[in-house]
Amino acid sequence: MTPTHKTIGSAGADLVCAKEITIQPGETALVSTGAYVPSGLPNGVALLLLARSSIAYKKRLLLSNGVGLIDSDYPDEIKCMYTNLNTEAVTLAKGERVAQLMPVQYVHGVFPTESNIRTGGFGSTNND
């Protein structure tokens, strides 16, 4: 599923829920989006994964890591890690907008690089 900007002025592109999921009270779950890092992402660009304000306000779901950073060489599906702050289960429907991706430019080379090859996926670079 391709993230899309809803308006010409939207900084973030919406990600949708790829399959229905129910998150129990107090539970943390990974929400599939069916999206991947776009091929041909320009050098020096990463993606920030941000919660939609309506998810927090209306559904009381918290993006567990605050803001996700998705590197240009991240190979796996982009997933949202949400924690349910409710006393009841919350269901996200397939196709429901659940997060936003915002491209950001960064400066590489400020710090030393240990390796030129990524070997890790979600939550891990080089299996750390």
Reply yes or no on whether the pLDDT at 31 is more than 80.
yes
Q: For residue 119, what pLDDT is reported?
A: 64
What element of type H or E holds 56? helix 53-59
Hey, what domains does the chain have and what are their CATH numbers?
A: 13-105 (2.70.40.10)
**pLDDT (tens digit per residue) in 33-45:** 999 988 878 888 9
Q: For residue 95, what pLDDT is reported?
A: 96
Sorted by sequence, the CB contacts under 8 Å of residue 107 that are 6+ apart come out as 44
Q: For residue 124, what pLDDT is reported?
A: 54
Query: Rounded CA gap, 45 and 72, in Å?
Result: 7
The predicted model gives 67-92 an average pLDDT of 93
Reply yes or no on whether the pLDDT at 15 is more than 90.
yes
pTM: 0.83
**Tokens coding 12:** 């973030």
Q: For residue 81, what pLDDT is reported?
A: 96
